[in-house]
Amino acid sequence: MNIPDDDLSIPFISEQDEKDLKFGVENDVDAIFASFVRRPEDIRDMRKILAKYGNPNIPIFAKIENPEGVRKIEDIVKEADGVMVARGDLGDEIPPEQVPLVQRRIIKLCRQAGKPVITATQMLDSMTTHPRPTRAEVSDVATAIDESSDCVMLSGESASGQYPVEAVSMQASIARAMESELPYENMAKEAYDCSDHTVNDAIANSIANTALLINAQLIFNFTQTGKSTKRISKARPCCPIISITNNRKVALESGWLWGVYAHLISTTMPDFIEEMEAIALKIARDLGVKEGSRIIIAGGTPTGAGKTNFMRIVTTPVISDID
């Protein structure tokens, strides 16, 4: 039932919701997506319950699906770990012509905060029953990417549709096409302008700008907490980011960040730049990066949280030089 014009007074978390949160903690889920978030207190209340059962650090994504959530979106973004623009129910709760404006605003707020934002629902809806999307659907996906969504998500198209593989392939194809034409230099500047202007922010911005200038094929970032990877992703570099960590949770949580691919290592994090370079070159070689390509390596020495303090440009050697 949708009641668009009323702020509901019923509790956000039901008895069943608490049982579900307890189940999530007991089974070590990677993230929780909270439907119909209305206010920042909803997220805080969820964290209290997660803490009660032993893990307050599970990432919480707020699904924005009602007018109250839209009105309080700035405070919700501050409190949540990420946001989903859930356009299906949102389009029932607010006038449909307002949905694109709300989508753009939410994406911008999340981008400024450096938090992942997922645009979802009815992206390629016709592919539930047809092998090709409409032109309007293609434009819809392209717009979400142009506005800087971290993720674009399919729903029924891949969950119960007749052409799930084709839908995923089409979504990825649209993303690749759009990403080849984005204004990367402007995006990096925007990210830095809305940052705290710390040394770490400057390094992330420099990495993104340098990747564009030298046509880097990959960025390798060594991280223990994932924070530096988030900052680099926020700057929207023009090439993929390989986030190297020995922390499984950090690796999993990087999956919904723009352009990030996690690489989990089983050893301790390397302390020296030369060690990091050797690891990065091996991964680049395994990924098929061509000889003579440029890659960027970033990290901290000595290793530790908040220690990101260097960026190195490396040209991949010929195979005989590696061997």
Chain segment 59-97, per-residue pLDDT in tens:
999 999 999 999 999 999 999 999 999 999 999 999 999
pLDDT at 230: 96
Helix (H, G, I), strand (E, B) or coil at 297: strand
pLDDT at 320: 46
Q: Which two tokens stand for residue 174?
A: 């649209």
List alpha helices for 147-259, DSSP H.
Answer: 156-159, 164-179, 184-193, 199-214, 227-234, 248-253
Q: Which two tokens stand for residue 257?
A: 């960040």
Largest CA distance in the chain: 69
Distance of CA 300 to the CA centre of its chain: 23
pLDDT at 318: 60
Single-letter code of the amino acid located at 54: G
Q: How many other C-beta atoms can be found within 10 angstroms of the C-beta atom of residue 315?
A: 10
Q: Taking Cα atoms as reference points, which of 85, 156, 146 lies closest to residue 120?
A: 85
Whole-number Å distance between alpha carbons of 16 and 268 = 41
Strands 32-34 and 218-222: unpaired
Whole-number Å distance between alpha carbons of 68 and 82 = 18
Could you write out the DSSP letters of every residue in 2-35?
--TT----S-SS-HHHHHHHHHHHHTT-S-EEET
Q: How many other C-beta atoms can be found within 10 angstroms of the C-beta atom of residue 272?
A: 12
pLDDT at 100: 96
pLDDT at 7: 59
> Residue 323 is inside which H or E element, if any?
none
pLDDT at 319: 52
What tens-digit pLDDT sequence spans the chain (323 residues)? 555 555 556 788 999 999 999 999 999 999 999 999 999 999 999 999 999 999 999 999 999 999 999 999 999 999 999 999 999 999 999 999 999 999 999 999 999 999 999 999 999 999 999 999 999 999 999 999 999 999 999 999 999 999 999 999 999 999 999 999 999 999 999 999 999 999 899 999 999 999 999 999 999 999 999 999 999 999 999 999 999 999 999 999 999 999 999 999 998 999 899 999 999 999 999 999 999 999 999 998 876 666 778 999 999 986 544 44
Q: What is the pLDDT of residues 99-149, one digit of tens each?
A: 999 999 999 999 999 999 999 999 999 999 999 999 999 999 999 999 999
Could you tell me if 237 and 262 are in contact, meaning their C-beta atoms sit under 8 angstroms apart?
no
Domains of the chain: 15-179 (3.20.20.60), 184-322 (3.40.1380.20)
pLDDT at 143: 98
